[in-house]
Amino acid sequence: MTKENTTKGMNITRERMIQLLNEDLAGEYQAIIAYTVYSQVLKGAAYTDIARELEAHAGEELAHAIKIAKQIDYLGGMPGVMPKTVKTSSDPVTMLRADLENERETVGRYRERIRQAEAMGEFALSETLRAIIVQEQEHEIDLSAALDIDVPLAKALAGKNKGRGQLKKHHASRNGRLV
């Protein structure tokens, strides 16, 4: 077992952090592409509002990509140029599920990255990642609401808002199709 495994990936080198951030950057590129395309091809009255939200997500993912590229450059690395593979489908639910799956994976990756950045003493990096993860979690909630999937995070938010009914109402006003 390597030292990295025994410390659960916390004690990592600068080079390893650059490599991991480049994987994150490839995920951000994937998200930009997926949201750009899906927001335009989602058809039907039921999807009008979520399509508009996906368009907003695309812009936020671009901002994430720029922030991650900046951090890679700051660490002395070269930001990569290749996106992760983007799934294509003509089925709205398949598209939304692909986005949700990617957001969940992204949140998990950034949670780990924040811990690694703090273990390295790279607090500016961890702050940047914290700001990004807040938006990724919002994306996850938007997609879950559109697919009418309950998520632990949505439950937590519902708790803060004194009940799930209020969260549903919140999304009803944003997504239209939910009541």
Residue ranges binding Fe ion (CB under 5 A): 28, 61, 64, 136, 139
Q: Which is nearer to Fe ion, 87 or 169 (CB)?
A: 87
Q: How far is residue 175 from each of residues 4, 68, 142, measured CA to CA in Å?
A: 43, 30, 8
Shortest Cβ distance from residue 101 to Fe ion (Å)? Answer: 12
Shortest Cβ distance from residue 118 to Fe ion (Å)? Answer: 20
Q: Which is nearer to Fe ion, 81 or 166 (CB)?
A: 81
Q: Which is nearer to Fe ion, 59 or 163 (CB)?
A: 59
Shortest Cβ distance from residue 32 to Fe ion (Å)? Answer: 8
Q: How far is residue 132 from each of residues 47, 67, 114, 126, 127, measured CA to CA in Å?
A: 26, 9, 11, 10, 9
Shortest Cβ distance from residue 61 to Fe ion (Å)? Answer: 4
Shortest Cβ distance from residue 99 to Fe ion (Å)? Answer: 8
Q: Which is nearer to Fe ion, 53 or 61 (CB)?
A: 61
Q: Which is nearer to Fe ion, 11 or 66 (CB)?
A: 66
